[in-house]
Amino acid sequence: MHTISTQSAPVGKLEFLSFQLGGMEYGVDFCKVKELLTFQSLERFASEGAIVKGVAVSRGVIMPLVDMRVAFNERAASPGPTTDVIILQLSSCVMGMLVDGVTDVVRMYPDQITPIPGMTRENGCDYLMGLGETDGRRLILVDIDKLMSIRRETVAQQAA
C-alpha cells in the first residue's frame, strides 16, 4: 500500500498523478488522489460489470471500482500484478479507478498545457483538459470530476 504526501506544489506549478492506460500516459489532478493501492491488496465484494468492477472497501470507506482500462480501450482485460487502483476523492463521492499502472507525480506550469486539437466542449470532450508536455513526455490531462459526471448529466438532460 502506498500513501500519498499532500505537500503543496511550488507556486504556479500544477501537480498531476500520471498513469498508463493502453500504452498512453494520462494525468489527473494530484489533489484528487487519496491513496494508491494494488488491485490484489484491495478488499472487494459485490458483482462485477463491464466497466464497474464491483465495490471495494478501503480504510472503512465503501466505494465503486471503475475499470478505466475498459472505459478508454473498450476491451476487457483481467487485472494483472501491475494493475493499480487510484483512490480518488471526487466532488460527489470516493471511488477507485483501475489503471494499467501508476507512473509518478508530474509538475507543470500552466503554459506547458495545450488544448487537444479537435476536442471541444461541443463534441462532448470537456473532460479533457489538454496535453501536458514536460521533459519530453506528453500526458493527456483528464478532469476526473467532469469525466465521472458525464452519465449523470446525460440522464438528467433526457429526463427533463
pLDDT value at residue 54: 78
pTM of the model: 0.79
pLDDT tens, position by position, 63-74: 988 888 887 766
Q: What integer is the mean pLDDT of 126-150?
A: 89
For residue 6, the tally of other CB atoms under 10 A from its CB is 10
Mean pLDDT over each residue of the chain, to the nearest integer: 80
For residue 60, the tally of other CB atoms under 10 A from its CB is 5
pLDDT value at residue 50: 67
Cα–Cα distance, 61 to 56 (Å, whole number): 8
Banded model confidence at residue 11, pLDDT cuts 50, 70, 90: low
The grid coordinates listed for 118 are 479537435
